[in-house]
Structures are given as structure tokens and as C-alpha cells.
Amino acid sequence: MSELQQLLDRLVAAGAPGAAGWVRDERGSLGAASGLANRRTRQPMRPELRTGGVPHRTTTLEQALYASRPGRLRAWTPRALVAMVADQPPTFPAGRAWAYSNTGYVLLGLVVEAASQRTLSQELDRSILGPLGLRDTLLPDNAPEIPGPSARGYSLPLSPQGEALDGPLLDFTVQNPSWAGAAGALVSTLPDLTSFFRALLGGQLLPPQLLAEMATMVEVPPGSIPLPLYHRYGLGLLEVETPAGPLLGNAGGIPGFLSIVLSTPDGRRQLGLMINALLAPAPVYEAFIQGSRALGRRLLS
């Protein structure tokens, strides 16, 4: 617990407004936090506050999100998101290489809706959130505010060329999450996220054959991801290699938030980390990566 607290304090000292962590193992769960959830009201960060996470899509969409409040409040349909790349040729033939694709997850959301004859939110509630008791997790559709007790999200401003600018962190909390769609519009908490990975990797959600397919990894090309924490990726799962063995999980960011959850492959132990900043000073990223690896090794000890 002291190591987790020290990591969170280092993240705040490096420039993150706030940081939270949650560890779950055979003995139970422990949470810790440092810094502020809201810089204006000076509300302290707490590990059970709600967060969001999704990697960036395209430069055009990213610039719209960072450029103005109207851009952040625009409502997007899944088909409009897919249409942004519909006229572009495939990056490579299917099955021949690897690249992260938010659009691929949006398409999967449309497949779920077509197969279930329900909205994605309804099917998630029916098949995952309800059965697992994840009461603090929801797909908020077009709601611009994070519902319930939550942290504010901050980020450095972005230049017209798509580069992070030096300066004070700006509040990016209010945004329409529909731009992320099935790729990551979900709002959740660290306790819920660690519970989900415990259930998934513990075999509660999928038969063994499908879980094994999710965990079949391919190499990630160097320089292809903004957070160089992992080098192998499966079907919605990433793998972080440590001297003690591999950890499975996922990571993502949305303007204002960055989070990661790592788990032992058997689902018995989990670690979740969140900071309420995405584009942040370089020392924040360095502390986030180094701390994730160090605490991840402890999960396997």
C-alpha cells in the first residue's frame, strides 16, 4: 500500500492534478489517491470517483475536441464515425499486420446492436454490467457531464498542428462522449474496472476457447502507440511483460483522463491506475509508465 501511495504522490509531483489507484488480490481490495479531483473547488482525489478512457482516433477529430467547446459538445453517431474513414483504403490486408483502430471497436458496437436487437448500452447492462454488479459503470450516450461523483479532467492545449502546447492544464471534463462510441465512451471507476478484469480473466464471462483467443497476442510495431508501456496486443487485451511474467489488461485515454488496469493472467490479482490528465508534462507520463511496471511486478510476487 505504501508503494502505491508513493507512486500516486510522484505522479502529482510530476504535474498530474490528481491520481488514484486500486489493488485487488486474494485478501481483498485497497485504494489510495493523491492530489485533486477538482482544481477549482480543491476537492481531493478519491479512488472510487468515475473516469473515462479511449485512445485518440484521428488528427481531425482530435483537433475538433481540443479546439472549442462546441467541438467537444457535438453529438456523433457510430455511422458518422465510421464514415470518417469509409473512403480510405485499408492500411494493410486483413490479418497481415497490426494497428490500433478505434473505428474497429465502433464497428464491433454496431455488430453487437445488430445481433442483439438492443442498443449497445442495453446489451452491456444485460450481459455484463448487471450480472457482475458493476453499478458505477455506464455508457452515457450524449450526456456531456460525467454522472455521479467524479473527478474533473484536465489537459494541455493542442496546437492547430496537433501538438501539445506548454502552459497551464485546461479543464476538458465537459465533452460529448459519443465521439468515442464503442471504442471507449464508457464511464467507470477503478473498483469496477478491476472487478471486470477479475471476472473476464477468471473465466466468468467467456468460455475458455474465446478467452484464449482474446489473449492470443501479436507484436505491436515500435512507435505505433502513444503510451509505450506494452509491446503485445490481443483482442481487446494488451500484455505487459515483467521479469516475473506477463500481465494482461488494457489502457486508454480521453481528453482529461488516462487509465490502465493490469491483471495476472489467471484473474486473481488486479491493479488499476488513473490520472485526471491526458496531454500532460513528460514527467507525468514517465512516472505513470514506470510506476505501472513496478506495481505490476508486485502483482506476480
Q: What is the CATH number of the domain that holds 78?
A: 3.40.710.10
* Cα 178 from Cα 120, distance rounded (Å): 12
Cβ contact 74:176 at 8 Å: yes
Cell digits of residue 232: 503485445
pLDDT tens digit string along 145-161? 787 888 899 988 877 66
Number of structural domains in the chain = 1
158 phi, psi to nearest 5 deg: -115, 140
pLDDT of residue 109: 93
The pLDDT score that the predictor gives to residue 36 is: 92
Residues recorded for the chain: 301
pLDDT of res. 59:
59
| Domain that includes residue 89, residue range | 2-40+47-299
How much is the pLDDT for 56? Answer: 33
Cell of 36: 485533486
Spatial distance between the Cα atoms of 145 and 243, rounded to a whole number of angstroms? 41
Cβ distance 137 to 105 under 8 Å?
A: no
What's the pLDDT score for residue 54? 28
Residue type, 185: A
How high is the pLDDT of residue 53? 33
Nine-digit cell string for 152: 474533473
**Rounded to two decimals, what is the model's pTM?**
0.88
Handedness of CA 108, 273, 289, 300 (dihedral sign): negative
Q: In what order do the strands lie in the sheet with 232-233?
A: 43-44, 28-38, 18-25, 270-275, 257-263, 245-254, 238-242, 232-233, 218-219
Helices (H) and strands (E) in the chain, counts: 10, 13
* CA 193 – CA 201 distance, rounded (Å): 12
224, burial (CB in 10 Å: exposed 0-12, middle 13-18, buried 19+) = exposed
Distances (CA, A) of 180 to 21, 177, 266, 279: 24, 6, 30, 17
| Residue spans of the chain under pLDDT 50 | 52-57
CA distance 254 to 152: 12
**Side-chain-facing half-sphere of 93: CA atoms under 13 Å:** 1
Asked if residue 114 lies in contact with residue 219, where contact means CB atoms within 8 angstroms, the answer is no
Please tell me the distance from the alpha carbon of residue 278 to that of residue 180, in angstroms, as a whole number. Answer: 15
CA-CA distance, 149 to 136, in Å (whole number)?
A: 10
The per-residue pLDDT for 58 is 56
